[in-house]
Amino acid sequence: AIGAGSQVKAVDSDSDYPRQAPRTKLSAYQPNVEAIVAEKPDLVVESGDTGQLTKRLAAFSIPVLELPAPSNFAGEQHEFDQLGQVTGHADQARQEAARVGSQLRLIAAAAPHHAKPLTYYYELDQTYYSVTSSTFVGQLLAMLGMKSIADQASGAAKSGGYPQLSAEYIIKANPDYIILADTVCCHQDAATVAKRPGWSGLAAVKAGHVVGLNDDIASRWGPRVTDLLRTVETAIAKGSTG
């Protein structure tokens, strides 16, 4: 997105976008230093220092840039800038960050206005891990006038904004919307949600306000955060007129 695609020599086995990315069998969870070194990279980019990868690659004089999950969009913009600086595409990186920010604001501006925030349950997996409004995703959804039911959950702050809820908690909260970020990994959709004990009576289920997201787009920060916000905004707009 910032014009450095041709400089990417290899990506790990889970980095499947864009389609033409040079995907390999390299593991992001159990990094093989020897295999990485064999690629002869000038730079390794990681989201977390798994297995002390930075220190181990330093022995081979290979620099590492760590770009952890940002806590807000400003953090994502900063990571665009960092990537732009190290790859020689600083101007394009700034332009892309500005473009993404502009698109997010346009999507937010198109969202229907409600007198009070729309509540939602955001499902990371079918064991009911969720996100609060303070997380990166939560702040994006707040742009649409939405508030997470997980905000008041026990252990919400201690978990860093990613608490595990219970079915009973979700049913009692009765959210306006259910947003599924586990449609691929866990095969969840509106039909499977409606079949859960007690869930068919939820306002979101009865109104057809169950929004399915692509797992990758929902869990990765980058230019496609606009796709995430647009999907939810479209669902809200449809719900307001339907």
pLDDT in tens, 200-235: 999 999 999 999 999 989 988 899 999 999 999 999
Question: With 70 as the cut, is the pLDDT of residue 241 above it?
Answer: no
Inform me whether the pLDDT recorded for 242 exceeds 70.
Answer: no
Residue 179: Cβ within 10 Å count: 26
**What pLDDT, in 10s, does the model give residues 27-38?**
999 999 999 999
Instruction: Dump pLDDT digits (tens) for 156-167.
Output: 999 999 999 999
Query: CA of 160: how far to CAs of 84, 131, 132, 147, 150, in Å?
Result: 29, 9, 9, 17, 12
User: Are residues 130 and 162 in contact, defined by beta-carbon separation less than 8 angstroms?
Assistant: yes
Q: What is the pLDDT of residues 108-155, one digit of tens each?
A: 999 999 999 999 999 999 999 999 999 999 999 999 999 999 999 999
Q: Is the pLDDT of residue 193 over 60?
A: yes
| Structure-token pair, residue 41 | 């990279």
Report the pLDDT value the prediction gives residue 118, as an integer from 0 to 100. Answer: 97
Res 95: pLDDT? 97
Angle among Cα 126, 222, 13 to the nearest 5 degrees reads 65
How far is 99 from 117, CA to CA, in rounded Å?
A: 27
Q: What contacts 15, CB < 8 A, 6 or more positions away?
A: 21, 23, 28
Average pLDDT over residues 164-173: 98
Q: At what angle do helices 90-110 and 225-241 cross, to 10 degrees?
A: 10
Average pLDDT, the chain: 95
Q: Quick one: pLDDT at residue 239?
A: 79
In the predicted structure, residue 103 carries a pLDDT above the cut 60 = yes
